């Protein structure tokens, strides 16, 4: 994963951003950069390698004392980890700077379109189309240009933007990607996650999908997709799990391992009312229509899938899931898809749970795109696939805990009516399809 950190405040932004990026370091990265709104336009400093390389460059230059800026730690998906490909990126006229997390899936088409309009690109990344689009759409209203540009982007992304057209503001937008905003001590912050806001922001919130946040010193405004103002619901950062410190643990990994019981309980809590599964998981109709649970994943998500299969089969019978295929292999096969041919056309639908890991095993990021295409196709086929419980993105935004969420659903629902229905329905299907196994489980 990579990170975004931005601030609009009253003290020099560069040291704050450098400290914010340090807190995001645990997510992993291969290069970094900072852009601030200087008096002479946007000032930029980028470097491949660790943050210490960037810090060295910062120490050797004289960054403006501007209090408005953005920073980025990049984990390359498109283009090598070089100074040139590091974020933030400038628009051709130098008026916009953008830091981007995620992937712009339609960047090739956008790049071709913008090239025809005379824009030239300096990097190999997908991200560089964003500042160019902003310049292309800008007609005197920055917010409108951002909304217009964002509406052209496909994929999962979070963006932090500064512009010389509105030098006191940091703009932020997100779609299927994590982003948090916070305020404290008269400053407004944006960050890829809440833990990185601890120590900076007293209050924080997660903006809605597709919304645009406008951060000024001591003021945060949120706008929905249509440009209507919405009210942010801030909570104290501590209450939101804002904790990016290693604490007494020597490594973040160790800390994460010990945090698992709390994280799993907290995550499961969103799906239950304390005792029972909430209806948001499956309607009764859906639960009755399931005939099989498919779990696919790769890397650590594959292992989560195997664990999920065991949990589900304890509830629903020994053949409820079948083998957990490796998603890379499954999806590279021509015409393969997460919904299996023999099951299409049947009255029942398989529940297809896909687990994706952010990065770590081979080129798993590259697999995301075909995977999502396959998912979109299977959706057209009428199959029901569910991700991590966010009903607005059944396929996208799945992460490495995806498979675990499915097992958690089945697990947490042991006493619930929904799980009983799912269990019953799965057994019935298996009995119908393989009578020899009617007595299984
Ligand atoms: N896709 C972008 C790139 O390769 C952003 C990667 C990231 O999220 O860091 O530059």
State the pLDDT at residue 351.
56
State the pLDDT at residue 431.
61
* DSSP letter assigned to residue 87: S
The CA 102 to ligand 1 mean position distance, Å, reads: 5
The finding on whether 88 has its CB within 6 A of some atom of ligand 1 is no
Based on C-alpha coordinates, what's the Rg of the chain? Answer: 23
The finding on whether 409 has its CB within 6 A of some atom of ligand 1 is no
Apex 54 CA angle, 135 and 364, nearest 5: 75
Q: Write down how long the chain is.
A: 441
Q: What residues does 36 pair with on adjacent strands? A: 43, 69
The CA 103 to ligand 1 mean position distance, Å, reads: 6
State the pLDDT at residue 353.
56
State the pLDDT at residue 242.
55
User: At 26, phi and psi to the nearest 5?
Assistant: -60, -20
User: At 126, phi and psi to the nearest 5?
Assistant: -75, -25
The finding on whether 397 has its CB within 6 A of some atom of ligand 1 is no
Pocket test for ligand 1, best of 125, 156, 192 (most atoms within 8 A of CB): 125
> What's the CA gap between 174 and 193, in Å, rounded?
12
Other residues' Cβ atoms within 10 Å of the Cβ of residue 268: 18
**Ligand 1 nearest atom to the CA of residue 87, by list position:** 10
State the pLDDT at residue 326.
63
> What's the CA gap between 190 and 214, in Å, rounded?
10
Pocket test for ligand 1, best of 32, 100, 111, 175 (most atoms within 8 A of CB): 100
The CA 221 to ligand 1 mean position distance, Å, reads: 26
The CA 99 to ligand 1 mean position distance, Å, reads: 9
The finding on whether 127 has its CB within 6 A of some atom of ligand 1 is yes
State the pLDDT at residue 377.
37
Pocket test for ligand 1, best of 27, 33, 74 (most atoms within 8 A of CB): 74
Alpha carbon nearest to ligand 1 atom 8, residue: 101
CB 357 within 8 A of CB 301: yes
> What's the CA gap between 203 and 188, in Å, rounded?
10
**Ligand 1 nearest atom to the CA of residue 103, by list position:** 1
The CA 202 to ligand 1 mean position distance, Å, reads: 29
State the pLDDT at residue 420.
60
The CA 312 to ligand 1 mean position distance, Å, reads: 35
Q: pLDDT digit of tens for each residue in the chain (441 aa)? A: 689 999 999 999 999 999 999 999 888 899 999 999 998 999 999 999 999 999 999 999 999 999 999 999 999 999 999 999 999 999 999 999 999 999 999 999 999 999 999 999 999 999 999 999 999 999 999 999 999 999 999 998 999 999 999 999 999 999 988 899 999 989 999 999 888 898 899 999 999 889 999 999 989 999 998 899 999 889 888 766 656 566 677 777 777 777 788 777 777 777 777 777 676 666 777 777 777 777 777 777 788 888 888 888 887 777 777 777 666 555 555 444 444 433 444 444 555 555 544 443 333 333 333 334 433 333 333 322 333 222 222 222 233 333 333 333 333 333 445 556 555 655 665 565 454 443 443
* DSSP letter assigned to residue 375: H
Pocket test for ligand 1, best of 103, 108, 178 (most atoms within 8 A of CB): 103
The finding on whether 101 has its CB within 6 A of some atom of ligand 1 is yes
The finding on whether 237 has its CB within 6 A of some atom of ligand 1 is no
């Amino acid at each position: 994963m990579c990170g975004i950190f931005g601030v609009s405040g009253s003290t020099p932004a560069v040291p704050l951003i450098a400290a914010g990026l340090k807190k995001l370091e645990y997510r992993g990265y291969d290069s970094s950069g900072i852009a601030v709104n200087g008096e002479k336009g946007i000032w930029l400093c980028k470097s491949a390698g660790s943050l210490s390389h960037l810090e060295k460059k910062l120490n050797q230059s004289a960054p403006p004392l501007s209090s408005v800026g953005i920073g980025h730690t990049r984990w390359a998906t498109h283009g090598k980890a070089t100074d040139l490909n590091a974020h933030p990126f400038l628009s051709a006229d130098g008026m916009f700077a953008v830091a981007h997390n995620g992937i712009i899936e339609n960047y090739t088409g956008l790049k071709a379109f913008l090239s025809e309009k005379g824009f030239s690109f300096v990097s190999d990344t997908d991200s560089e189309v964003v500042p160019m689009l902003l310049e292309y759409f800008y007609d005197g209203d920055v917010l409108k240009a951002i909304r217009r540009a964002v509406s052209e982007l496909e994929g999962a992304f979070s963006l932090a933007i500064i512009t010389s057209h509105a030098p006191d503001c940091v703009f932020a937008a997100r779609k299927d990607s994590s982003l948090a905003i916070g305020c404290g001590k008269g400053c407004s912050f944006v960050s890829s996650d809440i833990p990185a806001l601890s120590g900076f922001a007293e209050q924080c919130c997660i903006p809605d999908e597709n919304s645009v946040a406008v951060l000024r010193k001591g003021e945060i405004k949120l706008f929905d997709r249509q440009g209507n103002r919405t009210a942010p619901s801030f909570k104290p950062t501590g209450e939101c799990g804002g904790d990016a410190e290693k604490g007494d643990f020597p490594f973040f990994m160790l800390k994460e391992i010990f945090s698992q019981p709390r994280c799993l309980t907290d995550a499961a809590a969103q799906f239950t009312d304390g005792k029972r599964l909430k209806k948001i998981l499956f309607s009764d109709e859906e639960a009755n229509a399931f005939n099989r649970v498919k779990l696919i994943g790769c890397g650590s998500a594959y292992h989560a899938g195997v664990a999920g299969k065991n949990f589900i089969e304890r509830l629903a019978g020994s053949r409820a899931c079948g083998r957990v295929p490796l998603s890379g292999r499954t999806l590279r096969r021509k015409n393969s898809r997460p919904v299996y041919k023999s099951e299409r056309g049947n009255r029942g639908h398989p529940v297809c749970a896909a687990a994706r890991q952010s990065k770590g095993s081979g080129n798993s990021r590259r697999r995301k795109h075909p995977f999502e295409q396959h998912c979109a196709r299977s959706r057209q086929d009428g199959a029901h696939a569910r991700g991590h419980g966010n009903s607005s993105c059944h396929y996208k935004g799945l992460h490495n805990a995806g498979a675990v969420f499915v097992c958690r659903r089945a697990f947490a629902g042991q006493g619930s009516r929904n799980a009983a229905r799912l269990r019953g329905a799965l057994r019935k299907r298996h009995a119908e399809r393989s009578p020899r196994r009617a007595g299984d489980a």
